[in-house]
Chain A
Amino acid sequence: MYFQVGLADAETIFALSSGHGRCGVAVVRASGPASSTALRCMTRLTRNLPPPRKALLRSITDPQSKEVLDRGLVFWFPAPHSFTGEDSVEFHIHGGPAVITAVLHALGSVPGMRPAEAGEFTRRAFQAGKLGLTEVEGLGDLIHAETEAQRRQALRQMSGDLGRLYQDWSHKLKRCLAHVEAFIDFSEDELIEDGVLNQVDTWVCDLQAEIERHLQDERRGERLRTGVQVVIAGAANAGKSSLLNTLCQRPAAIVSPIAGTTRDIVETALDIGGFPVLLSDTAGLRESPDLVEREGVRRARERVDQADLTLVVVDCAHLPSDAEQAATFLEGHLRSVLSPQEQSLLVLNKTDLLPEEQRLELDWELRRVSGLPPVCHISCHTNEGLQDFLAVLHRSVKTLCGDPLSCAPTLTQARHRAHLQQCFAALAQYQRYRDIDLALAAEGVRLALTSLGRITGHVGAEEILDIIFKDFCIGK
């Protein structure tokens, strides 16, 4: 059972406290002794903390990369005057999933911080005596409901391929631990040879490789939950906002023939063939004397860098009329917009303005250039080519998410990722101490199993002993 009744946990927890799903403003909350550290290094407040319980507008930055993630309100609630009774911090940030994910990720990189378990804030508040008697009465049921929901959700996940994968790892780890423990507790009196440990070495090595591969699944499972980041980018007035409006079938962005109409990022959530997509429209990329527009361009570039998929929109009418020159131009244009290796689609807009013959010639020429992304002709004006474009987009998004029905299980929760990373690190401890101190090496396997156990369920000492007695011929 992995519920903890710690009275004043030394660990600092954080979570998105506003509801899931899209919203204008999201609240990320942290509680525990490291809250003030987190606040300091996320807002670059080196000297003083903000006055207690007063809103302060700050840029929120990633403490590792120093990158600005968002600009929002921060609140500092020193203990005991907070919801949980502990030092707490709140970040009120923009509600886009990308921003939220980035802020949560940044918080996770602060030492002493970990993602909260379901209901943990309420539990701490309860333990600090912050809830009234009637609220307390309801709390057990609330936590029950929460854990029930968690359990059902976990069950759903656990019955799938992912569950089988984690159970399989847990099984292998239990065996590793049982063999190490058997070697510690019995080898002096029994016929347990050193070969037992060589077997464990192989298992640990294999497991590490598997977990590493799994962790490098390019976030596909998380994308499935939080949405694929698709960014529309391109030169000014190429029709980027029109594309956004066409895709979401409503005027989300203001469109005008005036170049530079979109100055900040416009986001909208879409469902593309069953996959969640977070579509952002950005300012046209051009040199501008306008300070505001320059900031817009900077943000656009930043967003392109973070995108899972970039739709590079080009105005056909502005292409050189010679097909060969046009192809060379497009190649250079893509290089200027995208960073290397980035996934993208090339969208040739305003195709209705291009003669049929010239279009075919261009297609033929583009096919000869290697390394170009898929090319789509569309007209946001006439909706020509839109169906084909959607089909291509669907295929790309599906690849990015990973097909949940196919066999390669992917990570679906950031929490799982954190536990798996701990598990991975603990296995390294086994290898480090294998020949120096077997008790400390075993401690590594124990920690690995505990971390994995937080996903698959607890493993007790008796279970390990059962494996020992099953696998070895143990006498006194």
Chain B
Amino acid sequence: MSDLIFLSLVSRHSSHLVRQQYDVIVVGGGHAGTEAAAAAARVGAETLLVSQKIETIGALSCNPSLGGVGKGQLVKEVDALDGLCGRAGDWAGIHFSILNRRKGPAVWGPRAQLDRQRYREFIQSELLSTPRLTVLEGSVEELFVSEPNPEEPGHHRVTGIRLANGSHPISASSVVLTTGTFLSGSLFMGQSKSPGGRIGDAPSSAGLSHTLRERLGLRTGRLRTGTPPRIVKDSVDLSLANVHPPDSHPTPFSFLNTHTHCKPEEQLPCYLTYTTPGVERVVRESLHLNCHIQEDAKGPRYCPSIESRVLRFPGRRHQVWLEPEGVTSDILYPQGLSMTMPPDVQLRLIREIPAMHRAEIHTPGYGVQYDFVCPTQLSPALQVKSTQGLFLAGQINGTTGYEEAAAQGLWAGVNAARCALSRPTVALSRTESYIGVLIDDLVSRGVTEPYRMFTSRAEFRTSLRPDNADLRLTLKGFEEVGCVSIVRYQEAVRVRDSLQDALATLQALALSTQNWRKKLPDMRMSEVKNSLLTGMDVLRYNDVSFEMLASAFPECLSHHMEFSQRLKIEAVYRPHCNLQKKEIERIQKEENMSLPQDINYLTLPVSLSHEVREILDRVRPTTLGAATRLQGMTPAAIIHLFNYVRRICFTYGKIPLSIVKKHYKIK
């Protein structure tokens, strides 16, 4: 990629080329930062992406894979909003599979193993070709904070950044921080501890976390995570592991792609192997040498180190996946073996696994502890409530995972841009997207451990499917949000119209049971009586596919073959989704009732218990809907709040409605 070389050349030592003023500055070049910068530029903001190292922009710091159950839904949604990671995955994927294939399309988990280098190259070339986006190498030394704009809620306002090595300040209306594990990050290996967020990279400046905590008064917490040692591929006896082949027909993530970059037959397999009692013994014997495990920062329950798995579930064998890192890579990634013991013990441990009895370690595993900002201090736009113009996304908000970071990054970037361009911020509802579920969980409940997406977190899982993310988000993304290109929008409109047309045709196709039997002799139809069945009814049958209907009625259905799978899914799920509609509408109404952000709940002249006041004051829900979901809220308190919001409307009735709306976001 010649573009890439160009990118590194212009941006590295080019402070004289960089403007002094941007609409949006994004700090950090990981999954959150790259999506944020690209989204902000798509919305129309002059955007600057600042990263410590140009080469690591778009790097996969941990596992070489994207998607999965729940996470795959996030990738589809980011793609539907014209984000990068779906298309990057299609370009860099070397092993595609849909998880949960037998469990129903609502919980299918599109997933791919990635070629690390291809992924990074794709992201970097996308950023380079994005209009209005500049990339700059540098470390942020300071965040400039000034007095707030008195017409907006908030106690502070962010005005820009200053880079290390003493260069001039760069000002911006919005700043998005996506610092990942670098905020007061420490690396752990054995008994040694050093500052940093990723091995091989310089620690970030202490100035930033000082500003967040001391100057802006944000509450922070500490989390930990870890990564496994990388194994030299040639040293592993793969004949002792089970081969896991990819899907024979790889399914792309992106709604824009009909096929993946990697040819089906060129895909690489994964390997599955298991821990042994020897692994458990090594963990126990080396506990005294492992200070990461002894620290009490909260680690994720669902991505635990091998140490905590063995200690919590002793006497069991645990899965270890050996994953390829790329087409030409000579390294394997042992998923499930994240560890922080001294390197010599790590080697002893992996050699307890038969397939790795002679394995060599390429890079040892290590643990990271880092600060995160308690996300209940954010609005659903991912803006810090107390600070105008400051947005946070990714691990800084207490999440884990590339997909979670990308989703937040995109949404923070969208809102940072809208804010800078004096457009109102926008929120996604948990009734319409996994991104909405993710953000609502973060800002209204907070986190106690690294947050990861699961399909079980989505109440409306049967409506929020991977197959319909474009219909849920692309149209809105273009019409209301402004982050979707016209090309993608036109494609989504075409898809929507074709689907509607096909569904209407199916609905109009009404035949008696007898006639259906004649048309589809292979179908087992249990229904008797003389009632008419529509094409939709019949398509709901387990053993009926759209292809069967299309060959029975070629004149009216065959031109819809492109969408045969989507139509089948739609037919099966539609009755269930219709049942959910009422509840969805109720929640959306509540979410449309904004609570003013400058309410002083402690002195509000409304009958509220002291306990409820404290909860409201601490969390400061942005909508009545969010307030009802708070733990400890009472029905009476909700009614009083509701009434208060309405009374404000009443009192301010003499002021033009638009101003009332602007100040209190009342709909």
Q: Cα distance A473–B317 when bound, in Å?
A: 10
Name the CB-closest residue of B to A461.
Answer: B457
A147-B636 contact given A9-B586, A440-B576, A475-B336, CB 8 Å threshold? yes
Asked if A408 CB lies within 8 Å of chain B CBs, one says no
A475-B304 contact given A184-B69, A437-B103, A464-B456, CB 8 Å threshold? yes
Is A136 a contact partner of B109 (Cβ separation < 8 A)?
A: no
Q: Cα distance A412–B105 when bound, in Å?
A: 41
Residues 124-150 of A contacting B (Cβ, < 8 Å): 126, 133, 136-137, 139-141, 143-144, 147
Q: Cα distance A56–B628 when bound, in Å?
A: 42
B13: min CB distance to chain A, Å? 40
A411: min CB distance to chain B, Å? 25
Asked if A474 CB lies within 8 Å of chain B CBs, one says yes
Across-interface contacts of A442 in B (CB, < 8 A): 461
24 residue pairs A–B, Cβ–Cβ below 8 Å: A1-B635, A10-B585, A140-B643, A141-B607, A144-B636, A147-B636, A185-B455, A185-B456, A186-B302, A189-B68, A189-B321, A191-B316, A191-B319, A433-B104, A437-B106, A439-B103, A439-B104, A439-B107, A439-B461, A465-B456, A473-B309, A475-B319, A475-B336, A476-B335
Is B103 a contact partner of A184 (Cβ separation < 8 A)?
A: yes
Asked if B135 CB lies within 8 Å of chain A CBs, one says no
Q: Cα distance A186–B318 when bound, in Å?
A: 13
Is A190 a contact partner of B634 (Cβ separation < 8 A)?
A: no
Q: Cα distance A464–B457 when bound, in Å?
A: 9
Asked if A222 CB lies within 8 Å of chain B CBs, one says no
Across-interface contacts of B590 in A (CB, < 8 A): 5-6
Encoded as 1 (CB less than 8 Å from any A CB) or 0, chain B from 184 to 209 comes to: 00000000000000000000000000
Residue in contact with B99 in the complex, picked from A147, A188, A438, A464, CB distance below 8 Å: A188
Residues 87-102 of B contacting A (Cβ, < 8 Å): 99-100, 102
Is A144 a contact partner of B634 (Cβ separation < 8 A)?
A: yes
Interface centre among B309, B318, B586 (most CB of A within 10 A): B586
Q: Cα distance A400–B638 when bound, in Å?
A: 43
Is B319 a contact partner of A439 (Cβ separation < 8 A)?
A: no
Asked if B642 CB lies within 8 Å of chain A CBs, one says yes
Residue in contact with B302 in the complex, picked from A143, A181, A475, CB distance below 8 Å: A475
Is B635 a contact partner of A185 (Cβ separation < 8 A)?
A: no
Residue in contact with B301 in the complex, picked from A7, A9, A440, A469, CB distance below 8 Å: A469
Is B319 a contact partner of A140 (Cβ separation < 8 A)?
A: no
Asked if B633 CB lies within 8 Å of chain A CBs, one says yes
Asked if B462 CB lies within 8 Å of chain A CBs, one says yes
Q: Cα distance A18–B104 when bound, in Å?
A: 49
Q: Cα distance A437–B636 when bound, in Å?
A: 41
Is A473 a contact partner of B107 (Cβ separation < 8 A)?
A: no
Asked if A4 CB lies within 8 Å of chain B CBs, one says yes
Asked if B624 CB lies within 8 Å of chain A CBs, one says yes
Asked if A436 CB lies within 8 Å of chain B CBs, one says yes
Across-interface contacts of A183 in B (CB, < 8 A): 103
B161: min CB distance to chain A, Å? 34
A469-B302 contact given A188-B100, A440-B576, A443-B576, CB 8 Å threshold? yes
Name the CB-closest residue of B to A473.
Answer: B313
Is B456 a contact partner of A461 (Cβ separation < 8 A)?
A: yes
Asked if B572 CB lies within 8 Å of chain A CBs, one says yes
Is B589 a contact partner of A188 (Cβ separation < 8 A)?
A: no
Across-interface contacts of B582 in A (CB, < 8 A): 10-11
Residues 599-652 of B contacting A (Cβ, < 8 Å): 607, 624, 628, 633-640, 642-643, 647
Across-interface contacts of B355 in A (CB, < 8 A): none
Asked if B144 CB lies within 8 Å of chain A CBs, one says no
Residue in contact with B589 in the complex, picked from A6, A133, A189, A433, CB distance below 8 Å: A6
Residue in contact with A476 in the complex, picked from B100, B336, B454, B638, CB distance below 8 Å: B336
Across-interface contacts of B338 in A (CB, < 8 A): 476
Is A476 a contact partner of B635 (Cβ separation < 8 A)?
A: no
B375: min CB distance to chain A, Å? 15
Asked if B70 CB lies within 8 Å of chain A CBs, one says yes
A436-B576 contact given A143-B636, A188-B100, A465-B456, CB 8 Å threshold? no
Seen from chain B, the residues whose Cβ lies within 8 Å of a Cβ on chain A are 63, 68-70, 99-100, 102-107, 109, 300-304, 309, 312-313, 316-319, 321, 335-336, 338, 445, 454-457, 459, 461-462, 542, 572-573, 576, 582, 585-586, 589-590, 607, 624, 628, 633-640, 642-643, 647
Name the CB-closest residue of B to A177.
Answer: B456
Across-interface contacts of B636 in A (CB, < 8 A): 140-141, 143-144, 147
Across-interface contacts of A191 in B (CB, < 8 A): 316-319
Is A126 a contact partner of B456 (Cβ separation < 8 A)?
A: no
Residues 448-476 of A contacting B (Cβ, < 8 Å): 461-462, 464-465, 468-469, 473-476
Q: Cα distance A475–B585 when bound, in Å?
A: 36
Across-interface contacts of A10 in B (CB, < 8 A): 582, 585
Across-interface contacts of B585 in A (CB, < 8 A): 10
Q: Cα distance A469–B454 when bound, in Å?
A: 13
Residues 404-442 of A contacting B (Cβ, < 8 Å): 433, 436-442
Residue in contact with A3 in the complex, picked from B454, B607, B628, B640, CB distance below 8 Å: B628
Name the CB-closest residue of B to A7.
Answer: B589
Residues 155-203 of A contacting B (Cβ, < 8 Å): 181, 183-191
A474-B301 contact given A185-B455, A189-B319, CB 8 Å threshold? yes
Across-interface contacts of B457 in A (CB, < 8 A): 461, 465
B576: min CB distance to chain A, Å? 6
Across-interface contacts of B106 in A (CB, < 8 A): 437, 439-440
Is A473 a contact partner of B316 (Cβ separation < 8 A)?
A: yes
Across-interface contacts of A133 in B (CB, < 8 A): 647
Residue in contact with A473 in the complex, picked from B109, B318, B321, B572, CB distance below 8 Å: B318
Is B107 a contact partner of A438 (Cβ separation < 8 A)?
A: yes
Residue in contact with A140 in the complex, picked from B63, B300, B454, B607, CB distance below 8 Å: B607
Residue in contact with A181 in the complex, picked from B317, B319, B456, B640, CB distance below 8 Å: B456
A139-B633 contact given A439-B106, A464-B456, CB 8 Å threshold? no
* 5 further A-B pairs in the complex, CB-CB below 8 A; given A144-B634, A440-B462: A3-B638, A140-B639, A147-B634, A442-B461, A475-B318
B173: min CB distance to chain A, Å? 35
Is B462 a contact partner of A443 (Cβ separation < 8 A)?
A: yes
Across-interface contacts of A469 in B (CB, < 8 A): 301-302
Is B628 a contact partner of A136 (Cβ separation < 8 A)?
A: no
B607: min CB distance to chain A, Å? 6
Across-interface contacts of A143 in B (CB, < 8 A): 635-636, 639
Interface centre among A183, A443, A476 (most CB of B within 10 A): A476
Is B640 a contact partner of A140 (Cβ separation < 8 A)?
A: yes
Q: Cα distance A205–B321 when bound, in Å?
A: 36
Across-interface contacts of B105 in A (CB, < 8 A): 437, 439
A443: min CB distance to chain B, Å? 6
B11: min CB distance to chain A, Å? 34
Across-interface contacts of A6 in B (CB, < 8 A): 586, 589-590
A450: min CB distance to chain B, Å? 9
Nearest 5 CB-CB pairs, A to B? A437-B104, A439-B104, A3-B635, A476-B303, A144-B636
Encoded as 1 (CB less than 8 Å from any B CB) or 0, chain A from 1 to 36 comes to: 101111101110000000000000000000000000
Q: Cα distance A165–B104 when bound, in Å?
A: 33
Interface centre among B63, B107, B582 (most CB of A within 10 A): B107
Is B635 a contact partner of A147 (Cβ separation < 8 A)?
A: yes
Name the CB-closest residue of A to B569.
Answer: A437
Is A184 a contact partner of B100 (Cβ separation < 8 A)?
A: yes
Q: Cα distance A1–B573 when bound, in Å?
A: 28
Interface centre among A139, A184, A433, A461 (most CB of B within 10 A): A184
Name the CB-closest residue of A to B306.
Answer: A475
Across-interface contacts of A123 in B (CB, < 8 A): 639
Name the CB-closest residue of A to B461.
Answer: A439
Is A190 a contact partner of B643 (Cβ separation < 8 A)?
A: no
Q: Cα distance A133–B589 when bound, in Å?
A: 22
Across-interface contacts of A461 in B (CB, < 8 A): 456-457, 459
